[in-house]
Amino acid sequence: MNSVGEKLTASLEDYLEGIVMLKEQGRKVTVTALSKSVGVKKPSVYWASKRPSGAGLVIHERYGDVDLTLDGARVADEVCRRHKALFSFLTDVPTIDPEIAEQDACSNVG
C-alpha cells in the first residue's frame, strides 16, 4: 500500500523502479528519460504521477524533473528489493534464462 492506502499498479511500480534506476545511473530523471526507461509514451509518465495511486509518491512539476517523495522513495526501495529478490531466485534455478528471469521478476513484483 502507498501513502494514500491504495494498492500500487504494476505500471506505477515500474515508474518508481525506473526513477530509482535512472538516479542510480547518475542520470537526470525527466519525463523523456523515464518514458524511455520504462518503455511507455511521455503522456503515460505524466498522468501516472497525477493519478490518486501516484499521489504523495512522485513529485513532478510541469516541464521539471521527476523525483520521489520520502514516501515514494520508501515504496520504490521496497519494489526494487522485491524485484531483485525474485530475479535472484529465478536465476538460481539453472533452467531459467536470465532474460526470462528479468521479464518474470519485473511482471510479478506487484
Domain CATH number, residue 53: 1.10.10.10
39: left (phi over 0), alpha (psi -120 to 50) or beta: left
pLDDT-based confidence at residue 106 (cuts at 50, 70, 90): confident
Residue 4 lies in a domain: no
More confident residue, 4 or 93: 93
Residue 74 lies in a domain: yes
Residue 53 lies in a domain: yes
For 86-97, what is the mean pLDDT?
Answer: 77
Give the domain range for residue 83: 10-107
pLDDT at 52 over 70: no
Residues whose CB falls within 8 Å of the CB of residue 84, separated by 6 or more in sequence, listed in order:
105
Residue 1 lies in a domain: no
pLDDT at residue 5 in the model: 46
Residues whose CB falls within 8 Å of the CB of residue 97, separated by 6 or more in sequence, listed in order:
none
pLDDT-based confidence at residue 4 (cuts at 50, 70, 90): very low
For 78-98, what is the mean pLDDT?
Answer: 83
Domain count, the chain: 1
Length of the chain, please? 110
The string of pLDDT tens digits covering residues 55-73 is 789 888 788 888 999 999 9
For 19-44, what is the mean pLDDT?
Answer: 93
Residue 68 lies in a domain: yes
